[in-house]
Structure 1
Amino acid sequence: MSSTRHGRRSLVHQRIVTTGTVAVVALVLSMSVSIPAAHADTVVLAIAGSVDEVLTNIRNWVMGILAGLATVFLTIGGVRRVFGGGDPSEQEKSKEAFKAAAIGYGLAALAPLVVTVLKGIVGA
């Protein structure tokens, strides 16, 4: 009888984690999707003045995307840790999500270094 309960609890837990993961991904995607303008005229908001400016913009985008993805993995790891309920496989999955988040934050922190190297290569 207790194994049936544990099986049902595990199934409910998996559904909660899956639903939470889908909700977080949907939220991130909905924030990143932009709706195109309704009119046909194109308005130029900014024109890059130099290669240095382009590389700086690339750096900012890369840092933002990496930090955003790392935050998603950190959230998923936290949800798995909290809802894991002592299940060793869920705890291991949460550790892997935390490692992925740490790698993402580390890469985001290294983005300025990569752009500096690129500036040196192109002579900007």
Structure 2
Amino acid sequence: MFRRTSLRIITTTIVMAAALIVPVPAFAAGPATVAAYPLPVIIGNITAWVVGLLVGVATLFLTIGGLRRMTAGGDPSEIEKSNSAFKNALIGYALAVLAPILLSVVQGWIGG
């Protein structure tokens, strides 16, 4: 019985001392920061990610188009499929070049 009561007293004393030692502001000094990074850094990270993804997919389509062209053997339908893959690769590379410009426009709209 004595041990349990003394343990409660010691625990209560430690908790109360910690509450008095730890400073707690009574009011907010300024606006709380919600994001870990500022908006321009976030937009830059998104730009790098989008450009990398677009270049990767465009390269994949370019490879597929080249393989189809090499294995076509003069078949017009396979040559048309390879031309379509080349066109898609060109669109992907164009979007990869335009992605930073488009994301900077979005950043201007947001106000970053």
1:101 matched residue in structure 2: 89
Deviation, 1:69, is 0.2
2-side partners of 1:92 and 1:115: how far apart? 34
Say whether 1:113 aligns with 2:101.
yes
Say whether 1:62 aligns with 2:50.
yes
Deviations 1:56-79 (A, max 9, x none): 000000000000000000000000
State the 4+ residue runs in structure 1 displaced beyond 2 angstroms. none
- Change in Cα spacing, 1:48 to 1:107, as seen in structure 2 (3 Å) is farther
Unmatched segments (≥5 aa) in structure 2: 1-34
Larger radius of gyration: 2
TM-score (norm 1): 0.61
- Aligned-partner SS, 1:64: helix
2-side partners of 1:72 and 1:62: how far apart? 15
1-side partners of 2:87 and 2:64: how far apart? 11
Deviation, 1:48, is 4.4
TM-score (norm 2): 0.67
2:25 matched residue in structure 1: none
Q: How many residues align?
A: 78
- Change in Cα spacing, 1:123 to 1:85, as seen in structure 2 (3 Å) is same
Aligned-residue sequence identity (percent) comes to 54
> Where does 1:1-124 land on structure 2 (aligned, <5 Å)?
48-124=36-112
1-side partners of 2:48 and 2:98: how far apart? 12
2-side partners of 1:48 and 1:55: how far apart? 13
Question: Structure 2 counterpart of 1:121, which letter?
Answer: W
